[in-house]
Structure 1
Amino acid sequence: MTYAEVNGVSLWYEEHGDGEPLVLLHGGFWTIELFGGFLTALAERRRVIAVELQGHGHTADVDRPLRYETMGDDIAALIRHLGLGRTDVLGYSLGAGTALRTTIQHPDAVRRLIVVSTPVRRTGWFPEVLAGMAQIGPESAEVMRASPLYAGYERVAPRVEDWPVLATKMGDLLRRDYDWSAEAARITAPTMLVYADADSIPPSHMAEFYALLGGGLRDADWDGSKRGLNRLAILPGHTHYDITTAPALPDLIEEFLSTSS
């Protein structure tokens, strides 16, 4: 458990387990602690390098906006700092957007990519989710003080008084439009998309994203010989907010990361 000085940010990361490295990125307002048993399960078979992004958890904020692009640069710099070479990256929600930008901007840093519960363009979120994102800011920070998200932040943040700053920057980030479709279509790293069947993203967008990666465009033939390298998993009985508790998720991830081709 320590800091890495990258791109002007003191980036907190923790290492759990042994084996091939896997960089793990959390959701918005999260700390590493909130991964709970999911991190434990991953660390049974991998050297998991769990990171707290700018302004989150132990990682203090710096004088720059929160942007997927700069956080993606931070993760690539951390991979180089640790001498990992091309490594596997898994992100959930905010972390998934960051992992996606890391792969787009630094293809030499990512061996395999796992995107959990995020769209490839902003309008891929359900309208009611976008409406909720529009309300995030300093006022919502006060309401969120009663939540487990704030409790986790309060335990570890170097400057607890920055909680409203984090909410303000998160709101600004979440209201910014983006469409990474063209860039995602050029990703060469094998990629797995993972969603809940009651996610904050409609199944039509999940299929659209998968098709951009070349998935689901043709029959795989009787022997699977025409199946691509990329994967789409939709986990039943879960939502955007509890998908990392899905019992099947660690095994799906390990199977994908262990595929030889």
Structure 2
Amino acid sequence: MSYADVNGVRLWYEIHGSGRPLVLLHGGYGAVEMFAPILPALTARRRVVAVDLQGHGRTADVDRPLRFESMADDIAGLLRHLGLPEADVLGYSLGGGVALRTAIQHPALVRRLVLVSTPCARRGWFPEVLAAMAMQDERFAEQMRGTPPHELYAAVAPRPEDWPQLWAKTGDLLRREYDWSTEVAALTVPTMLVYADADSIPVHHIADFYGLLGGGHRDAGWDGSDRPTARLAVLPGLTHYDIITSPAVPDVVLPFLTHEVRSPL
């Protein structure tokens, strides 16, 4: 457990287990503790590097906006700080956006990519989710005091008084339009998409995202020789808010990270 100074951010990270490195990136208003329920399963097979993103958990905020692109550069900087020429990267929700941008901006550093409950464009969220994102600001932060995310933040953040600022900056990030479809279609990093069957992302966007990665265009053939490089898992009985605690996540992710994947054409 330590800090790495990268890009002007003192980035908190924890390392657990041994083996090939797997970077974990948490969701919005969270921290590395978000992965606690599935960490034992992952660390039994991998050297896990869990990170607190800018302004989250033990990583203090700095004088720059929250942006997926700059946080992706932070992850690239951390990998270089740790002397890792490449790593697998798993991101959940907001952390999934950071993971995806890391693969887009620094493809040589990402061996395999896992995105959990993450869209590739802002329109990929349900309308009611976008409406809730539009309300996230300092005033909403006050309503969230006493909730589990706030209690964790108050316990571990270097400056607990920055809680309203985290909501203001995150709200600004989530209200910004983006569409990474073209860059996703150009990815060569083997990628797995994981969603709940009652996620905050509509099924049609999941299918479109998978299609951009080369999935769902043809039959795989009797011998599987036409199987796409990308993988898709839709986990039953879960939602966007509890998927990352489910043992089903390591159950589907670890085989993808471990087994050989045919290189894309």
Q: Same fold per TM (> 0.5)?
A: yes
Counterpart check, 1:237 vs 2:237: yes
Question: 1:73 matched to which residue of 2?
Answer: 73
Q: CA deviation at 1:246?
A: 2.0
Once the two structures are superposed, residues 24-68 of structure 1 have per-residue CA deviations (whole angstroms, 9 ceiling, x without a partner) of 000000011122211222111111000000000000000000000
Question: 1:191 matched to which residue of 2?
Answer: 191
- Give the letter aligned to residue 94 of structure 1: L
Question: 2:145 matched to which residue of 1?
Answer: 145
Moved more, 246-255 or 230-239: 246-255
Return the alpha-carbon distance in structure 2 between the equivalents of residues 79 and 251 of structure 1. Answer: 26
- Partner of 2:169, secondary structure, is helix
Query: Where do residues 76-87 of structure 1 align in structure 2 (5 Å cutoff)?
Result: 76-87=76-87
Question: 2:134 matched to which residue of 1?
Answer: 134
Question: 1:64 matched to which residue of 2?
Answer: 64
Question: 1:249 matched to which residue of 2?
Answer: 249
Counterpart check, 1:97 vs 2:97: yes
Counterpart check, 1:123 vs 2:118: no
TM-score where L is the length of structure 2: 0.97
- Partner of 2:38, secondary structure, is helix
Q: CA deviation at 1:98?
A: 0.1
Question: 2:171 matched to which residue of 1?
Answer: 171
Return the alpha-carbon distance in structure 2 between the equivalents of residues 187 and 39 of structure 1. Answer: 28
How many residues are paired up?
261
Question: 1:113 matched to which residue of 2?
Answer: 113
Moved more, 165-174 or 241-250: 241-250
Q: CA deviation at 1:233?
A: 0.4
- Partner of 1:200, secondary structure, is coil
Return the alpha-carbon distance in structure 1 between the equivalents of residues 132 and 146 of structure 2. Answer: 18
Identity of aligned residues (%): 66
Q: Give the gaps of 5 or more residues in structure 2.
A: none
**What's the RMSD between the two structures over aligned residues?**
0.7
Question: 2:48 matched to which residue of 1?
Answer: 48
Q: CA deviation at 1:252?
A: 1.0
Return the alpha-carbon distance in structure 2 between the equivalents of residues 248 and 141 of structure 1. Answer: 32
Counterpart contact for 1:2–1:14, Cα < 8 Å: yes
- Give the letter aligned to residue 202 of structure 2: P
Q: Give the gaps of 5 or more residues in structure 1.
A: none
Once the two structures are superposed, residues 171-217 of structure 1 have per-residue CA deviations (whole angstroms, 9 ceiling, x without a partner) of 00000000000001111010000000000001110000000000000
Once the two structures are superposed, residues 97-131 of structure 1 have per-residue CA deviations (whole angstroms, 9 ceiling, x without a partner) of 00000000011110000000010100010000000
Return the alpha-carbon distance in structure 2 between the equivalents of residues 228 and 79 of structure 1. Answer: 28
Counterpart contact for 1:235–1:246, Cα < 8 Å: no
Return the alpha-carbon distance in structure 2 between the equivalents of residues 229 and 9 of structure 1. Answer: 35
TM-score where L is the length of structure 1: 0.99
- Partner of 1:37, secondary structure, is coil
